[in-house]
Structure 1
Amino acid sequence: MWLYVLIGIILLLAVVFIWLYNSLVALRNRVKNAWSQIDVQLKRRTDLIPNLVETVKGYAQHEKGVFEEVTRARSNLMSADSVKETQEANNMLTGALKSLFAVAENYPDLKANQNFLELQGQLAETEDKIAYSRQFYNDTVLMYNNKCQMFPSNIIASTFHFEESEFFEVEESGRAVPKVEF
Structure 2
Amino acid sequence: MKKFLPWIIIAVLVIGVYSWVKGFNNTAVTLKEEATKSWANVESSYQRRNDLIGNLVKTVQGAAEYERGTLTDVIEARAKATSMNIDPSNMTPEQMAKFSEVQSGLSGALKSLLVTVERYPDLKANQNFLELQSQLEGTENRINVTRDRFNEAVQPYNKHIKTFPNSILAGILNFDEMAYYKADSGSENAPDVNFEF
TM-score w.r.t. the length of structure 1 is: 0.91
- 1:69 partner amino acid: D
From 36, 41, 46, the equivalent of 2:40 is: 36
Q: The residue matched to 2:187 in structure 1 has which SS?
A: helix
Matched, 1:20 2:33: no
Q: 1:55 maps to what in 2?
A: 59
Deviation, structure 1 residue 177: 2.1
In the aligned structure 2, how far is the partner of 1:38 from the partner of 1:10?
42
Which residue is 2:50 aligned to?
A: 46
Structure 1 runs (4+) deviating above 6 angstroms are none
Q: Which has the higher helix share?
A: 1
State which drifts further: 45-54 or 7-16.
7-16
Unaligned 5+ residue runs, structure 1?
none
Q: CA deviation at 1:38?
A: 0.9
Deviates more, 1:4-13 or 1:60-69: 4-13
Per mean C-alpha deviation after superposition, the further-off stretch among 132-141 and 166-175 is 166-175
Matched length: 182
Partner AA of 2:104 in structure 1: N
CA RMSD in angstroms comes to: 2.0
Q: In 1, Cα distance between the equivalents of 2:102 and 2:48?
A: 15
In the alignment, what sits opposite 1:75? 79
One-letter code aligned to 2:138: E
Give secondary structure in 1 for the equivalent of 2:19: helix
Tell me the equivalent position of 1:168.
181
Unmatched 5+ stretches in structure 2: 87-94
How far is 1:158 from its partner? 0.8
SS at match of 2:174: coil
Give the Cα separation in 1 of the matches to 2:71 and 2:163. 48
Which of residues 84, 93, 96 is equivalent to 2:109?
Answer: 96
- Aligned to 2:178, what secondary structure does the other structure show? coil
CA contact (8 A) 1:73 1:92 kept: yes
* 2:141 counterpart residue number: 128
Query: Contact 1:91–1:170 (CA<8 Å) still a contact in 2?
Result: no
Cα deviation for residue 180 of structure 1 reads 6.8
Shift of 1:149: 1.7
Give the TM-score taking structure 2 as reference length. 0.84
Letter in 1 for 2:26: N
Partner of 1:119: 132
